[in-house]
Amino acid sequence: MIERILDKAVSGERLNREEALALFQSDDLHRIGMAANRVCEKHNQNRVYFVVNRHINPTNICINRCQFCAFSRSKGEEGAYELTIEEILQKIHEAPDDLKELHIVGGLHPNWPFEHYLRMIETIKKEFPHVHIKAFTAVEIDYLSKISGLSLRETLIRLKEHGLDAMPGGGAEIFNKEVRGRLCPEKISGSRWLEVHKTAHEVGIKTNATMLYGHIESYADRVDHLLELRQLQDSTGGFQAFIPLSYHPENTEMGGQYPSGIDDLKTIAISRLVLDNFTHIKAYWIMLGEKLSQIALLFGADDLDGTVVEEHITHSAGGKTSSGITKQELIHMIKRAGKTPIERDALYNTVKLYS
Ligand code: V47
Ligand code: SF4
């Protein structure tokens, strides 16, 4: 049964909801993975991407307090922090000279005004004009639009004018209303998340997309989530990469278990097969672990993210990986998977090919 579905995907035909669901229900991981690898090679040949980047989380103070988030704190709570712009600049100064991307996301701070975010981006851009700024999830953008009183479009244009180059894919979680209501009742809806990304694409900001899986959602919820993303990508073409995010349960209100390695690989592979209009599928090594993310390169992923340096969101929730990795280690992982490492910038321009 799944052979026909996989043949269809490999020949470039689009999978429908029932077919995608049948793949999730199948235990034939090898066959699914091989098909995903072939589809991946159609998009990217033998290339696997990575970026010399640094993550910065300006604050963990957040008014939302999602049930699965172990990173956030309320204002005044023990462990709450807020970085000044000078402290952020200091962190970037400590990064290597070949830094290409800053990934900046944080909580919804109750008091910071919109001007603070504009100043943050502008100051970074002035001091580091050669570094791409990939910042603010759709959840933060919606919040910035609220606190500034500007429309979504105007908010995004102002951020772009001050130096925003791209947006990360966080905050998508699972679009299904009931599941989302239990995971993150305070968070913007799935349709608002999609609207923010649509508007970003319209004003010329490329973005990523994610899906948080392995908690209380069903396979059908995952499929519906992927189909919503595929539909928006058909109309805008503004997504660069899709990143499945493997749930980490420790220190969270939700609790539960880690998804299995089998589920991680299956989710990467099926994402590759369903999202026929996405060029890149990212195996985020921070969440998958170095060894499983290397295997994921044979199951449809063509990107490992980057050097990262400092990571709080996954590590607050029981992440077992180190917080950073060297460029040489990433190159080694990719080469040993039989692929060609490509160092990229935040917009997937090639910085260097390592043959
Ligand atoms: O928005 C929060 C998720 C996201 C947990 O776009 C959790 O290139 C697992 O979006 N277990 C932030 N996940 C990370 C993210 C990301 C990471 C790397 C690259 C890119 C990109 C985006 O992490 C949050 C939320 O969806 N998250 N808590 C948790 N306990
Ligand atoms: Fe806040 Fe984001 Fe954590 Fe939700 S996932 S509590 S929005 S930092």
The DSSP result for 190-221, as a single string, is HHHHHHHHHHHHHTT-EEEEEEEESSS--HHH
pLDDT score, position 322: 85
Q: How far is the CA of 8 from the centre of ligand 1 (A)?
A: 31
Atom 24, ligand 1: residue with shortest CA distance? 170
Q: Would you state the pLDDT for residue 155?
A: 98
Q: Which of 184, 211, 314, 315 to mutate to test the pocket of ligand 2 (most atoms within 8 A of CB)?
A: 184
Max CA pair span of the chain: 58
Q: Rounded to an integer, what distance in angstroms lies between the CA atom of residue 277 and that of residue 269?
A: 15
Ligand 2 centre to CA of 183 (Å) is 11
Kindly report the protein residue whose alpha carbon is nearest to atom 10 of ligand 1: 170
Return per-residue pLDDT of the chain as tens, 355 residues. Answer: 899 999 999 999 999 999 999 999 999 999 999 999 999 999 999 999 999 999 999 999 999 999 999 999 999 999 999 999 999 999 999 998 999 999 999 999 999 999 999 999 999 999 999 999 999 999 999 999 999 999 999 999 999 999 999 999 999 999 999 999 999 999 999 999 999 999 999 999 999 999 999 999 999 999 999 999 999 999 999 999 999 999 999 999 999 999 999 999 999 999 999 999 999 999 999 999 999 999 999 999 999 999 999 999 999 999 998 888 999 999 999 999 999 999 999 999 999 999 8
Q: Would you say 324 and 307 are in contact if contact means Cβ atoms under 8 Å apart?
A: yes
Closest residue CA from atom 8 of ligand 2:
107
Contacts of 101 by beta carbon, 8 Å cutoff, 6+ apart: 51, 52, 53, 54, 131, 132, 134, 306, 345, 346
Residue list, ligand 2 pocket, CB within 6 Å: 62, 64-66, 69, 71-72, 107-108, 139, 184, 187
Yes or no: say if 110 and 62 are a contact pair by the CB < 8 Å rule: no
The reply to whether ligand 1 has any atom less than 6 angstroms from the CB of 212 is yes
How many helices and strands in the chain, by DSSP H and E?
15, 11
Residue 315, both tokens? 């590590």
b/e per residue, 117-152, with b = 16+ CB within 10 A? bbebbbbbbeebeebbbbbbbbbbbbbbbebbeeeb
Give me ligand 1 centre to Cα 309, in Å: 16
**Ligand 1 binding pocket includes 315 (Cβ within 6 Å):** no
- Ligand 2 center–CA 215 separation, angstroms: 16
Domains of the chain: 48-223+238-266+278-353 (3.20.20.70)
Q: Which tokens hold the place of 24?
A: 């999730």
Which residues lie below 8 Å from residue 36, measured CB to CB, with a gap of 6+? Answer: 268, 269, 270, 272, 273, 299, 300
CA of 107 to the centre of ligand 2 (A): 6
- Ligand 2 mean position, distance from CA 249 (Å): 14
Beta bridge partners of 55: 103
Distance CA 327, CA 49 (A): 11
The protein residue with its alpha carbon nearest to ligand 2, atom 5, reads 69
Q: 193 and 138 in contact (C-beta within 8 Å)?
A: yes
User: Which residue's CA lies nearest to atom 28 of ligand 1?
Assistant: 69
Class of residue 64 by CB neighbours under 10 A (exposed 0-12, middle 13-18, buried 19+): middle
CB 69 less than 6 A from any atom of ligand 1: yes
Q: What confidence score (pLDDT) does residue 323 get?
A: 81
Separation of alpha carbons 254 and 233, rounded Å: 31
Q: Classify residue 182 as left (phi > 0), alpha (psi -120 to 50) or beta.
A: alpha
The pLDDT value recorded for residue 109 is 98
Residue pointed to by tokens 């040993």: 336
